[in-house]
Amino acid sequence: MKRLPAVLFALWSFAASAAVERSYGLPCEVASIAPSGDGRIVWIACFLPSHGAPYMFQSPSMVYAMDTSTGRLVQVVKSVGVITVTAAPIGGKAIIVLPEEHSNGRAWLYDGSAAAGQLPLDFSFINPYFVVWTADAERVMF
């Protein structure tokens, strides 16, 4: 009787590890990964390496949203330069900052893979890497 829980645990752990194992072939090199607070969306920022452009600052970049329940991968935005993604600690929202010439970029609020609107943040003086959500995901601080 003592072996039954061990056998059941071994079967469960084998089934659980097989269920979450997935691989995706992205047409780009991953720069950052930002999981949502509720775990239903994972945003993946990546760039296309080019031989003439230095690293990723002048390379085509894109952000994909992966729905973790279905495994579906959707391209949500494309730009040239570094794209930053800051996921909310609660829910499925994220701030995606797109690069812009003569600025650090412009910010967009995304809910899942859909754009909810542009945020009125002036990135002339704000570094997009310093944008953070409050713990309740109601406000953005920088």
Residue 107 has pLDDT above 50, yes or no: yes
Q: Higher pLDDT residue, 129 or 2?
A: 129
Residue 59 near residue 39 (C-beta atoms within 8 A) = no
- The percentage of residues in the chain with a pLDDT greater than 70, rounded to a whole number, is 72
Mean pLDDT calculated for residue range 2-29: 55
Residues 3, 23: Cα–Cα separation, whole Å: 34
Residue 8 has pLDDT above 50, yes or no: no
| Residue-level pLDDT at 6 | 43
In 3D space, the residue among 119, 128, 67 whose CA is nearest the CA of residue 99 turns out to be 128
| Residue-level pLDDT at 63 | 92
Cα separations in angstroms, 11 against 4, 16, 19 = 11, 9, 12
* Segment 55-76, tens digit of pLDDT: 656 778 899 999 988 888 899 9
Listing DSSP states for 89-138 in one string gives: SSSSEEEEEEEETTEEEEEEEEETTEEEEE----TTSS-GGG-EE-TTSS
| Residue-level pLDDT at 125 | 65
Q: Higher pLDDT residue, 30 or 24?
A: 30
pLDDT band at 52 (very low <50, low <70, confident <90, very high): low
Residue 14 has pLDDT above 50, yes or no: no
